[in-house]
Structure 1
Amino acid sequence: MNGEKMEVGWNHNQQPGEDGVVDRADVHIEVHVKSESTARRAEVRTHVLALLDRHSLIMGSYKWTEFDDDFLTKNVESVAVVDADGPAPLDLKTSNLCVHIFSLNDDGPSTLNLEEDEELSAANHWLLPAAELHGIWESLIYEDGIKTQLLDYVSTAIFFSDKNVDSNLVTWNRVVLLYGPPGTGKTSLCKALAQKLSIRMSGRYTYGQFVEINSHSLFSKWFSESGKLVTKMFQKIQELIDDKEALVFVLIDEVESLTAARSASQAGTEPSDAVRVVNSVLTQLDQIKRYPNVVILTTSNVTEKIDLAFVDRADIKQYIGPPSASAIFNIYLSCLEELMKRQIIYPRQQLLNLDELNTMNYIESKVTQLSLHLHSIAKKSVGLSGRTLRKIPFLAHALYAKTSVLTVESFLDAMDKAVAQQLKERENLAKCS
């Protein structure tokens, strides 16, 4: 292969050419090694590069799960070319290959307790990459650019730290704020981003740590202890950050609870202790963000209540709204592909994607009929939350399937009915509210 082979998230060693332009695109290769494998990473990389050399011309993202190499069959679950979707074929021989080799941690989340025999847990804690978070990134479908922008932000933050950029001259706070209505996948996106970056940075950090704090629980239970328990919680997080081999992600869900507590206190409906708790949280965040191996991820459902003091700390403020018709189409398409794979929908039939439908001008024919029906269902589904959309195929089968295995045509009819039912239920709920 002609491209430089690396195992870092950001190719720090790629230098500009004589004209000052880096002319070889980075292509990221994710290699999922089996948990029982004892193979050295250098040996895995050698066999993966040989595989890529034999299949150097591909169309966009691609994943191998079966191999003609005994070593890969024994040691590797999959080799995936990721984040490479585009209209033109991709030539791996002229690309700069960034190879990320990882295995998944099979342990579930543990709890971070503040004191011995303390029933209240400060947070949930995962070692990354975690088996239970595997595949979430791919399953989340948003408008073009949202996931890439978030990925690039954190990569740049780590890159600037590695280059020792003076943060007094060029400022970044390592804080991400995702806001928008409930059910749009903000929390899942934070978890998926942490998982993805623990893989993408596998050559820079040995493993990832993910700490999920529920700020609503924090303020509803711990007022009486003022900021002391908050300080203890962040001392636990500090212990994780002190391990320079770990990339640490801290998630604060429902960060608007900070404002709710402070506003209530100022209005006289909560004790002044609430202000001390909020200020303690903000102070602790300001302290840990200085470390190069920590990223703070936050979400909010109620935009008008987000604390301005916190908003000022966020480098990225990304709105996550309900899926558009095109995003819904892609969500449904991924669901149907999974059900065909499991033979719940049988026989397998080819469904066209939106680009293919567009090239055919959305004209109905035997080739486009099923895909156009799915497109119609997607347009009817606009306004449903992402959480609901992922349930539609299940509800279609549970409520409207006459047999356990359905054809694509029958399943689409069932989905149509399930969407209509969800819209009717939403209308009835609105009348009762």
Structure 2
Amino acid sequence: MQTTDFCMGSPASPASEQPPTVWPVHIEVRVAPNATSRFDTIRNAVHSYLTTSLSDIYLPSEIEGWEDVPLLASSIERIAASECPCPTSSLPIEQTALQIHVYQPTDADAFEELTSGSGRGEDDQIMAATACELPSSSWEGLWESLIYSDDIKSKLLDYIYATVVFSDADVDYEVESLTAARAGAMAGTEPSDALRVVNALLTQLDKLKHKKNCLVMSTSNLATAIDSAFVDRADIVQYVDLPPREAIYEILRGCLVELVKKGIVSQVDVPGLAQAQLYERTADFSNLSLTAAQPIIDDTASPSAGTMELDPKERSRLLSICLLQLAQKCRNQEMSGRSLRRLPVLAHARYIRTLPAVSPRPASRPNGASKQPFTSGRGTAVETWLDAMERVVQAQATERTRLQ
């Protein structure tokens, strides 16, 4: 599988006493399966289009307009501006150092590698590893779904990109086999199958030490159980704490946006974190209410008139503030990212179940006005969804208290 990663600078800005900062911007270019053009040809065409057609790049964003370039239209499926250390949401094109990554995902399925088990028979084998050829179509979107409180992802990307550059330059790494003391095994407290799995892992790692284009990334929920020899050999050791309120907001927002997209929750605009924080700073908490009436919780209820009359922008503003408050409640309960992503399912299963569909948006009046500007679609009203989410968070808090 051929991939190329290059850093190409944009046109230099005019000379000044204090030249503006140039920020590296990662540009992802996904090549179509039937493309025949060379990767370097595609890369050069993308660079030419970005530097001549755009005045600013928004971060992150899908790049549009390249479909009018014949070479690009026949060769690629997507261009996206992804990670950048710049603190702002947009950059003038002359202040960017475009790092253009051209890739062609494969549809090949992952395959399992087995190793011998206890040795009691030929069929006694355990899975040593699951291998997947990258870039893989099945992994699309996974990176974007990872949300952390700081620049962990940027640090990893910078390190990986640096190792790729070193590898392309044939820089030799004094690479050694990984071995583990495994004190628990010597004490007789580790199951034999667990030891065989560890040995299988180390064997697979040994096979990779001569590969110039391989990096190993691993995670663990049992930090104290990781062997110190393994930790000592890691180039980057990063502790990832439970997500703070801001990260929780983005996780909950991502879940809500997906539910709206799939029609499970009725159409509503969900502001990003920066906008939500601005709304929160200027909010009057003495008169804060997303719903003018009680949310719909039972099958016999109907949408409240108060909900229908809210202005779309005001409804969106109140939603973002309430979602921030819900994020704080989740933070107080020390919920992990995995627990947070389960909340929408639990909320629907326990408190929403089957509700009457929200009426579609009526045809616009001659002046463009409509009596139902927010509840188009057939999903659950967002007020109902938010109420159910708060109830399931409270229920989980109660259950945790009982278990302690």
* Cα deviations by residue, 1:2-31 (Å, 9 ceiling, x for unpaired): xxxx9416679xxxxxxxx99643221111
Give the distance between the partners of 1:377 and 1:317, measured in 2 at CA: 31
Amino acid at match of 2:159: Y
Give the distance between the partners of 2:197 and 2:247, measured in 1 at CA: 40
Give the distance between the partners of 1:22 and 1:7, measured in 2 at CA: 28
Give the distance between the partners of 1:22 and 1:314, measured in 2 at CA: 36
Give the distance between the partners of 1:396 and 1:315, measured in 2 at CA: 41
Change in 2 beyond 3 A, CA 1:269/1:99: closer
- Cross-structure match for 1:299: 219
- RMSD of Structure 2 on Structure 1 (CA): 4.0
- Cross-structure match for 1:239: none
1:380 CA displacement: 0.8
- Secondary structure of 1:329's aligned partner: helix
Name whichever structure is richer in strand by fraction.
1
1:385 CA displacement: 1.8
* Cα deviations by residue, 1:237-284 (Å, 9 ceiling, x for unpaired): xxxxxxxxxxxxxxx9xx9xx66xx32332245699998996896687
TM-score, with length taken from structure 2: 0.69
1:74 CA displacement: 5.3
Change in 2 beyond 3 A, CA 1:337/1:51: farther
Amino acid at match of 2:143: W
- Secondary structure of 2:346's aligned partner: helix
Quick check: 1:340 aligned with 2:260? yes
Residues 135-150 of structure 1: matches in 2 within 5 Å? 135-150=141-156
Change in 2 beyond 3 A, CA 1:44/1:11: closer
- Cross-structure match for 1:69: 68
Quick check: 1:27 aligned with 2:25? yes
1:356 CA displacement: 2.2
Give the distance between the partners of 1:145 and 1:74, measured in 2 at CA: 36
- Cross-structure match for 1:358: 277
Amino acid at match of 1:147: K
CA contact (8 A) 2:106 2:133 kept: yes
CA contact (8 A) 1:104 1:130 kept: yes
Change in 2 beyond 3 A, CA 1:64/1:276: closer
Amino acid at match of 2:341: R
Give the distance between the partners of 1:329 and 1:50, measured in 2 at CA: 38
Q: Structure 1 residue aligned with 2:243, among 301, 304, 323?
A: 323
Give the distance between the partners of 2:259 and 2:196, measured in 1 at CA: 51
Change in 2 beyond 3 A, CA 1:347/1:269: closer
Quick check: 1:418 aligned with 2:392? yes
TM-score, with length taken from structure 1: 0.65
Residues 238-387 of structure 1: matches in 2 within 5 Å? 262-268=182-188, 285=205, 288-289=208-209, 291-349=211-269, 351-360=270-279, 361-364=281-284, 366=314, 368-382=317-331, 383-387=334-338
Amino acid at match of 1:422: Q
Give the distance between the partners of 1:61 and 1:70, measured in 2 at CA: 22
Q: Structure 2 residue aligned with 1:398, among 349, 354, 357?
A: 349
Which gives a bigger RCO, structure 1 or 2 (Cα 8 Å, sep 6+)?
Answer: 1
Amino acid at match of 1:89: S
* Cα deviations by residue, 1:314-347 (Å, 9 ceiling, x for unpaired): 1211112221111100111111222222233222
Quick check: 1:158 aligned with 2:203? no
Change in 2 beyond 3 A, CA 1:299/1:347: closer
Give the distance between the partners of 1:113 and 1:273, measured in 2 at CA: 13
Give the distance between the partners of 2:263 and 2:196, measured in 1 at CA: 57
Give the distance between the partners of 1:41 and 1:319, measured in 2 at CA: 37
Give the distance between the partners of 2:317 and 2:151, measured in 1 at CA: 28
- Secondary structure of 2:150's aligned partner: coil
* Cα deviations by residue, 1:61-110 (Å, 9 ceiling, x for unpaired): 21147765274555433210011363263122442222222222212211
- Secondary structure of 2:132's aligned partner: strand
Change in 2 beyond 3 A, CA 1:83/1:420: same
Change in 2 beyond 3 A, CA 1:64/1:118: farther
CA contact (8 A) 1:113 1:121 kept: yes
CA contact (8 A) 1:30 1:100 kept: yes
CA contact (8 A) 1:289 1:296 kept: no
- Secondary structure of 1:294's aligned partner: coil
Change in 2 beyond 3 A, CA 1:280/1:106: closer
Q: Structure 1 residue aligned with 2:5, among 5, 8, 14?
A: 8
1:60 CA displacement: 2.0
CA contact (8 A) 1:10 1:155 kept: no
Give the distance between the partners of 2:25 and 2:138, measured in 1 at CA: 26
Change in 2 beyond 3 A, CA 1:329/1:110: same
Change in 2 beyond 3 A, CA 1:129/1:45: same
Change in 2 beyond 3 A, CA 1:151/1:50: closer
1:152 CA displacement: 1.7
Identity of aligned residues (%): 36
CA contact (8 A) 2:128 2:201 kept: no
- Cross-structure match for 2:88: 87
1:118 CA displacement: 7.1
Change in 2 beyond 3 A, CA 1:302/1:117: closer
Residues 31-180 of structure 1: matches in 2 within 5 Å? 31-42=29-40, 44-45=42-43, 48-49=46-47, 51-52=49-50, 53-64=52-63, 68-69=67-68, 71=70, 72=72, 75-84=75-84, 86-87=87-88, 89-114=90-115, 119-163=125-169, 165=171, 167=173
Give the distance between the partners of 2:263 and 2:65, measured in 1 at CA: 20
CA contact (8 A) 2:56 2:93 kept: yes
CA contact (8 A) 1:325 1:379 kept: yes
> Which is worse superposed, 375-384 or 305-314?
305-314
Q: Which has the larger radius of gyration?
A: 2
* Cα deviations by residue, 1:334-368 (Å, 9 ceiling, x for unpaired): 1122222223322232x333322333415147362
Give the distance between the partners of 1:284 and 1:95, measured in 2 at CA: 40
- Count matched residues: 333
CA contact (8 A) 1:66 1:78 kept: no
Give the distance between the partners of 2:267 and 2:207, measured in 1 at CA: 57
Change in 2 beyond 3 A, CA 1:146/1:406: same
Change in 2 beyond 3 A, CA 1:131/1:66: farther
| Contiguous gaps of at least 5 residues in structure 2 | 10-18, 117-121, 289-313, 358-378
CA contact (8 A) 1:25 1:95 kept: yes
Give the distance between the partners of 1:89 and 1:285, measured in 2 at CA: 41
